[in-house]
Amino acid sequence: MEQKKVRPFQGKTLAILTGGGDTPALNASIEAIRDRASVLGFKVYGIRKGWKGLLGDGDIVDLTGQPYDGWYGGTALRSSRTNPLPTKKNPEDRVPQILRNIDRYKIDVLVTIGGDDTNGAAKKIYEMHGVPVIGFPKTIDNDLRTGTIHEYNGEQSEAVLCPGFESAAKGLMEYTLRLDTTAESHSRILVLEIMGRDAGWLTGSAVFGGAELALVPEVVMTKEKQLEFFEKVKESYKNSKKQSLIIAVSEGVRWYDDKTDKIDVVYASSEVDEYGHARFGGISGVIASEISKQTKIEARGQITGYYARAGECRKYDKRLVSSLADKIADILLREKYGRMPVLKKIVDFQELYEFNTTTIDMGSIGNFPLPKDYYDDNNFQFTEKYIDFLSYMLDKPRQAEFLYDFPKVVVK
Ligand code: F6P
């Protein structure tokens, strides 16, 4: 019988880049993709500093057979917010330089690990110039549409799960837990500001560390809504046995300012990046000082900032990126470019297998904010549905309790 010839991948080169804000799961993703591609016979390159590494003479390293630590957070390839396409900030079309380098370095397949910006640009280059690209999701904000189904109370609805989110959420849970003692000691309200840009997904992780109230960007804090919120703060503080309260607020909360009579986010800088994004930061201080003014309870703001993005990759994320990288192997074998692997449904650690993943079109990812039924805007709290969602990744929320109840000395 004639032996069927299998077309070998030998001689092919795959290059990986990471773009946008880093996450603790980027090195894990690079390592997992590199390993799968190596098994298929690819030589694997790393492009340094996102799209920037494909400009000029190129900045490319060889990852084939190199030792790599996927547990170590961030990206060893470095990242940037360089946009290959012409924008207002940078009208130059950089695509010709990129195509030239793809040719010079003989890159056959490009894997872009990023959010909507990075993967959206890659898809355009694929469509316009036929460069074989594969996307790989990442963001601590968890706002990149992955079409992942969350089954809750027998019903299915669309949620999101992006690599990087679980590690950031776990870190923030631990961070919030730690803050409890200082909030208690001073009988204070702590307003904890959490990254996430225009989405509140990550803010809910503080609830798992003891935050009792929360504000998210999806609910606009009008003048009226603020009054309801201050009432709720007073009530929660009064009912707290500990005489302290932690409130988690998203960096992108839209807040009414009575000095300007406008509703806006608080900007950390007036600069925008090459994708047109401004930097948020500082809302926690504004809200804390308003709380102090309105409730007469001492309140302080605390920006968690880059803490969420920092540190090691956590267990769930590590296994998630491995499963998604298995799907990359599948895409490579089928040569189905322009696609990105995603998790089909929200599953727990044990269920993170390739058969629970699928692929979606990289060009139609877009942003996906926190769904309405994950947050109760009457009580300024995350709902049981959100708690269920995050419980697949984190331990159940900690119940706030105060350990000391000393008998009061009464003068006779
Ligand atoms: O998109 C990820 C993110 O960490 C956001 O949560 C945050 O608003 C932004 O990046 C910060 O960006 P930069 O690293 O440019 O300060």
Tell me the CATH number at 108. Answer: 3.40.50.450
One domain, residues 80 and 177: no
From the CA of 140, give the closest atom in ligand 1: 2
**Around 364, how many Cα atoms within 13 Å sit in the side-chain half-sphere?**
4
What are the percentages of helix, strand and coil residues in the chain, rounded to 5?
Answer: 35, 20, 45
What is the structure's pLDDT at 272? 93
Distance CA 67, CA 42 (A): 16
Amino acid at 81: R
Among residues 311, 272, 285, which one has the least CA distance to residue 73?
Answer: 311
Q: Which phi and psi (to 5°) does residue 349 adopt? A: -50, -45
Contact 286, 150 (CB under 8 A): no
One domain, residues 120 and 210: no
By three-state DSSP, how is residue 60 classified? Answer: strand
Amino acid at 201: W
What is the structure's pLDDT at 402? 74
What is the structure's pLDDT at 231? 98
Tell me the CATH number at 227. Answer: 3.40.50.460
Among residues 136, 142, 158, 211, which one has the least CA distance to residue 393?
Answer: 142
Determine which residue's CA is closest to atom 12 belonging to ligand 1.
21
Asked if residue 1 belongs to a domain, the reply is: no
Determine which residue's CA is closest to atom 4 belonging to ligand 1.
21
Largest CA distance in the chain: 105
What is the structure's pLDDT at 383? 98
Asked if residue 208 belongs to a domain, the reply is: yes
Instruction: Assess whether the C-beta atom of 139 lies below 6 angstroms from ligand 1.
Output: yes
Point out the domain boundary residue: 327, 346, 364.
364
Among residues 237, 213, 144, which one has the least CA distance to residue 378?
Answer: 213
What is the structure's pLDDT at 242? 87
Q: Which phi and psi (to 5°) does residue 45 adopt? A: -105, 155
Asked if residue 412 belongs to a domain, the reply is: no
Distance CA 18, CA 139 (A): 11
Asked if residue 398 belongs to a domain, the reply is: no
One domain, residues 78 and 17: yes
Segments of the chain with pLDDT less than 50: 7-9
What is the structure's pLDDT at 395? 86
One domain, residues 289 and 332: no
One domain, residues 241 and 375: yes
From the CA of 251, give the closest atom in ligand 1: 8
Which one of 22, 116, 117, 141 is the catalytic residue?
141
Query: What is the CA angle 365-136-120, rounded to 5?
Result: 40
One domain, residues 272 and 381: yes
Asked if residue 58 belongs to a domain, the reply is: yes
DSSP string of 240-254?
A: -TTS-EEEEEETT--
Show the tokens assigned to 385. 């549905």
Domain hosting 292: range is 165-309+371-391
**Exposed e or buried b for every residue in 254-282, given b needs 16+ CB within 10 A?**
bbbeeeeeeeebbeeeeeebbbeeeebbe
One domain, residues 36 and 169: no
Active-site residue, 57 included? no
What is the structure's pLDDT at 9? 42
One domain, residues 324 and 253: no
Asked if residue 326 belongs to a domain, the reply is: yes
Distance CA 244, CA 246 (A): 7
Give how many domains the chain has, as a whole number: 2
Asked if residue 400 belongs to a domain, the reply is: no
Enumerate helices (H) and strands (E) in the chain, giving the number of each: 8, 19
Burial class (CB in 10 A: 0-12, 13-18, 19+), 191: buried
One domain, residues 378 and 234: yes
Residue whose pair of structure tokens reads 């697949």 in the numeric block: 392
Q: Which phi and psi (to 5°) does residue 25 adopt? A: -105, 10
One domain, residues 384 and 235: yes
One domain, residues 48 and 82: yes
Asked if residue 262 belongs to a domain, the reply is: yes
Instruction: Assess whether the C-beta atom of 309 lies below 6 angstroms from ligand 1.
Output: yes
Could you tell me how many residues make up the chain? Answer: 412
Determine which residue's CA is closest to atom 14 belonging to ligand 1.
21
One domain, residues 76 and 135: yes
CA 350 to ligand 1 center in whole angstroms? 31
